[in-house]
A and B are shown apart, each in its own frame.
Chain A
Amino acid sequence: MAAGELESPNTQRYLLSMQSICRRFGATVALHDVSITVAPGRVLALVGENGAGKSTLMKVLSGAIRADSGRMRLDGRVYKPANPLDARRAGVAMIYQELSLAPHLTVQENIMLGMEPSRFGVVRWNEVQRRSVQALAEFENPELTPQAKVSDLSVGSQQLVEIARALAIGCKVLVLDEPTSSLTQQDVERLFQIIGRLKDQGKAIVYISHFIEEVQRIADYVTILRDGKVVGGGNVNALTTGQIIAQMVGRKVEQLYPRSARRPGDVVLDVEKLAGRDKPEAAGIQLRRGEVFGIAGLVGAGRTEFLRCIFGLEPVKSGKIRLGVYTGPASPLRRWSQGAGMLSEDRQREGLVFSLSIADNVTLSKLKGFGPFGFVLPGRQDKAALRWLEQLAIRCEGPRQPVASLSGGNQQKVALARLLQHDVDVLLLDEPTRGIDVAAKASIYRLIDKLATGSPEQGQAPKAILMVSSYLPELLGVCDRVAVMCRGRLGVAHNVNDVDEHTLMLEATGQGVPA
C-alpha cells in the first residue's frame, strides 16, 4: 500500500494506519507483516476465515495485546496504546459481538459509565441526561430513551447503546466485530443507516464480517486476511464475491487426510426438522454407520447447538430424533448409554475437568466396572487410561497427571479417548481440531478415518461420525458427506466430491442456492 504518503506528516489522508504488524504466539505466527489503512469517512471491511488473524489484529489496535513489530498512526500521530483504556482515550472504540453493557443499569448510565460528570463526587444527572440525549439523537430510535433499562432492550438496540457510548467519548475510529450476527434483518438495516451517518461525520470505521453481501453493501475498501497475512483487497466495487471468497479460502489441501475405503451401512442417527430454543431452526440429517458426515458453516450459525440438541445438552423445541432404536430427545446420561458420545468444542469450559487427572477424565462418563459396589479403584482406572495413552500417543507423565498441564493437542486426545473408552457407536465431534498443532491434527484425522472404517479382523465395527468444523479443508478431507448450516438452517447433504471450499463458503455466507 502507499506507504510513502503515510510517512509524510502533512497528509491527513488516513485517519488510521497500521503498518507491517507482526505478532507471534509461541510457535504460531498470528500476524505477519499486516498493513491496513482507513481514511476518515470511509469503511474498511476486514474479511477472512475463522482464525485468519482478524481478531488478533483488532486486539493489537485496541491495546489488548501488543504487536511484536510494526507501527500504528492515528490522526497523524504515533499511536501506541498500552491497554484498552488507553486506546479508548485516544479515540479507538470497539464494538464486539458480545456486548459489554451493564444490563441492570439504564441507557444513560451505560453511556456515561466510567466518566460520569460530577461535582464534589455527586453525579450531575442533568448533565448525564443532556449528553446521553445528544449521543442518542443520531439514532432516532423510540425505544432508546435515557431512562430505559438496558436489559429491557432488544439486542439491536443494546448494540446502539454501545455505539452511543463510543460516540459520547468522542471516538475517531470505530471497530465493529461481526455486528450483525445476532441481529434481525430490520436491526441490520437500521445499523447500516447509522454507519452511513457516522461516515458523514468523518469517522473511520473498521467492519469485520463473514457475510460478503454485507461487506459489499457497506464497505468502501476491503482487506482480505488468510493465515495471518494480507492476501488481497482493494476497492470493494472492483472485486466480485467470487474473487473475495477465492482469496479467503485459497489454500492448498495438504496431504494429511487419509481416507480408507468406507462402506456406509444402516442409518444410526436420523434427525428430522430439529428446532432448538433459538437455533437450529430446522435441521435434519441421516447419519450412517461407517461414514463421516461434516457440518460446515460460520460461527454462530447454529452448528454447535444442533449437536447439543441431539445430545440432550440443550432443549429440543420440535422435530424428531432417532438414535439406533431409541426415538425422541434424551438426557446426556441416556445418550451415553444409548451408544452416543459427544466431544465439546470448548475443552476448558466443558470438554474436560482441568483439575482432575487424565485417568479421571477418560473414565468419567462410565465409572462402572472399575471395582465392586460403586467402588472405583484407581489402579484399574489407570490401566484403562494407559491403553489410550499408548494408542493415541498422548505425551504425558502418566495417567495421574492433571489435564490442565497437557498441551492442547494432548488434551484433545484425552477428550477423544473418553469416547473410545466408552466405546460409543455414534460420535458427535464439535470442532475436533480447534486450537491444536498440525501434528496432533493429523493424528486425529487418522483416528477418525480408522473409526469410520472399522477393522473386522479386530472385531471393531465401523462407527458413525458427525463432525462440525469451521475449517473447510478439514471437512473436505475427512468427510464423506457435507451439509452447510446457515442462520439456523441446515442445507442439503452434498457428496464431498461434488463440492469445494468455494461453493461451501458461498452457501455458508447465504449466497448459495437455498436448500
Chain B
Amino acid sequence: MTESPKLQVQQASIRNWRIWLNTLGPVLGLLLVYGLFAVIAPASFRSGRNLEMIARQTTIVGVAALGMTLVIISGGIDLSVGSVVALSTIVIAWLLERAGSGPLLAVLGGVAAAALFGALSGVLITRLKVVPFIVTLGMMLVVRGAAKGIGQEQKIDVDPVRLKWLEELLASVPRDRWWMLVPPGVWIMLLLAVAAAVLLRYTRLGRHIFAIGSNEQTARLCGVAVERVKLLVYTLCAGAAGLAGVMQFSRLTVGDPTVAVGLELDVIAAVVIGGGSFSGGEGTILGTMVGALIMTVIASGCTQMGLPNWVQEIITGAIIITAVALDRLRHRHGL
C-alpha cells in the first residue's frame, strides 16, 4: 500500500469530482428533461403558471418522499405510504365534519394517526424481526382497512365553511398575493426538506440512520440504539405521509379512503431516481426532491404536448431504470 503522494492527491480529486457528480447527477437529469420539453412542448410549458403547477403537483409525492428517504437510507422500505395518506384524509374529514373540530386540530389529528401506524410498523419490524418489506406490505392493507372502517366504506364530504385555510394549501396563488410565488403547501414542503436535510447531515439521529443503513453490525458494535432509531424512522416516515395526506385533502377537500392507491410506488421512485439505494446508506434529500420533480415535469410536459397517459407511464418507467442503471455503473467504476 505504498502509494505516491501524487497518486493520492489525484485519487482525492477524482473522489471529490465523483461526490459532485453524485449530487449533481439528478439535478442535471432534471435540467435535461425540463430543457427537452421546453424545446419540443408548446410555449405554455415554459410559462410561470405551469411552473407553479409543477410545484403544486409535486407536493404530495414530495412530502411523503422526505420520510421515505430516511427509511431507505436506513436500509428499509415502507410500502404503506399510500394507505397512510388515505387514512390521514379520512381522519381529517372525520374530525372536521363529525367531531366539529377546527382545521388545525384536524390536521394534527390526521398526522398523529398516521404517525401512530408508522410507530406500529416500527415496533413490528424491530420486535418480531420480520423484514420491513413484509411488515409494511401487511400494514398497507391494515391501514387501508382502518381508513375504510372510519369512513364506513364511504367518502366523507366536508362542508366548505369548515375548511378555512385548509383549502388554500395547494390552491393556485391568487393575483393579489403574487409575492408568495407558490402556495403555502409548497413552502411547507421546502421548509421540511431543509429540515430533513439538516437532520440527516448534522444531527446524531441522522448520522445514526446512515450508519445503520451502511452497516447495521458496526452500528450495533458502536452502541447505536438500532431498534430505537428504526422505530423513530418509520414513525417519521408515516408522519410525513400523514402530512402528504393533509395536502391531498386540501386538494380534494374530501376524506377518501380509496385515494392514493399505489402512491407508495411514486414515492419510492422519487427516492430511487434521486440516488437512494435499496441496500441502504445512500440517498439525499436534494436528490429525492429532484426525483419527485423529474416525474412531475415528465407528466406535465406530456400533458402539454397532448401525449396520452400511457406514453407518460412508459417514459417515467424508463427514467427510473435509467437512473438506477447509471448509479450502478458509477458504483462499478470505483466509489
Contacts and interface: CB of A to CB of B under 8 A. Distances in A.
Given A355-B281, A377-B202, A402-B335, A360 B225 contact: no
Contacts of A313: 220-221
Given A334-B223, A353-B210, 8 more contacts: A311-B221, A332-B223, A350-B221, A352-B218, A360-B210, A377-B202, A407-B1, A437-B1
Interface string B185-226: 000000000000000011111111011001101111111110
Interface residues of B, number: 30
B218 A374 contact: no
A405 B15 contact: yes
8 contacts: A349-B215, A352-B218, A353-B210, A371-B202, A397-B12, A397-B15, A418-B222, A437-B1
B8 A364 contact: no
Contacts of A354: 214-215
A376 interface: yes
Most A-side CB within 10 Å, residue of B205, B208, B215, B224: B215
B218 A353 contact: yes
Interface of B: 1, 8-9, 11-12, 15, 201-208, 210-211, 214-215, 217-225, 281-282, 335
B246 to A, nearest CB: 26
Contacts of A402: 15, 335
Interface in A160-210: none
B154 to A, nearest CB: 44
B221 A351 contact: yes
A344 B11 CA distance: 28
A376 B221 contact: no
A360 B11 CA distance: 20
Interchain residue pairs A-B with the least CB separation, the first 9: A407-B1, A333-B223, A365-B222, A336-B223, A350-B217, A397-B12, A364-B222, A367-B204, A353-B215
Contact of B223 (A335, A353, A360): A335
Interface string A355-377: 11000100011011001001111
B1 A364 contact: no
Contacts of B214: 353-356
A304 to B, nearest CB: 13
A496 interface: no
Contact of A350 (B201, B211, B218): B218
A378 B198 CA distance: 12
Contact of A365 (B203, B210, B223): B223
Interface in A405-426: 405, 407-410, 418
A408 B218 contact: no
A409 B215 contact: no
A404 interface: yes
Nearest to A381: B207
Residue of A337, A364, A404 ringed by the most chain B CB atoms within 10 A: A364
Contacts of B11: 397, 405
B205 A374 contact: yes
Interface string A331-347: 11111110000101000
A397 B8 contact: yes
Contacts of B335: 402, 404-405
Given A356-B210, A360-B207, A397-B8, A378 B202 contact: yes
A20 to B, nearest CB: 29
A318 interface: no
Interface residues of A, number: 41
Contact of A332 (B8, B201, B207, B222): B222
A106 interface: no
A411 to B, nearest CB: 10
B172 to A, nearest CB: 38
Nearest to A332: B223
B195 to A, nearest CB: 13
Given A356-B214, A405-B11, A364 B219 contact: yes
Contacts of A443: none
Given A397-B12, A405-B11, A408-B1, A353 B219 contact: yes
B326 to A, nearest CB: 19
Contacts of A333: 223-225
Nearest to B215: A353
Nearest to B225: A333
A342 B220 CA distance: 11
Contacts of A247: none
A332 B219 CA distance: 10
B202 A332 contact: no
B224 A364 contact: yes
A401 interface: yes
Contact of A375 (B202, B211, B221, B281): B202
B211 A364 contact: yes
B204 A376 contact: yes
Contacts of B215: 349-350, 352-355
Nearest to A346: B217
A376 B15 contact: no
A369 B184 CA distance: 37
A192 to B, nearest CB: 37
Contacts of A407: 1
Contacts of A371: 202
B187 to A, nearest CB: 24
Contacts of A353: 210-211, 214-215, 218-219, 281
Contacts of A350: 215, 217-218, 221
A342 B222 CA distance: 8
Contacts of B221: 311, 313, 332, 342, 344, 350-351
Contacts of B208: 367
A364 B219 CA distance: 8
Nearest to A361: B218
Contacts of A336: 222-223
A367 B210 CA distance: 13
A376 B220 contact: no
Nearest to A331: B223
A332 B220 contact: yes
Contacts of B206: 376
Contacts of A405: 11, 15, 335
A374 B204 CA distance: 5
Nearest to A408: B1
Contacts of A311: 221
Interface string A309-332: 001010000000000000000011
A401 B15 contact: yes
A377 B221 CA distance: 23
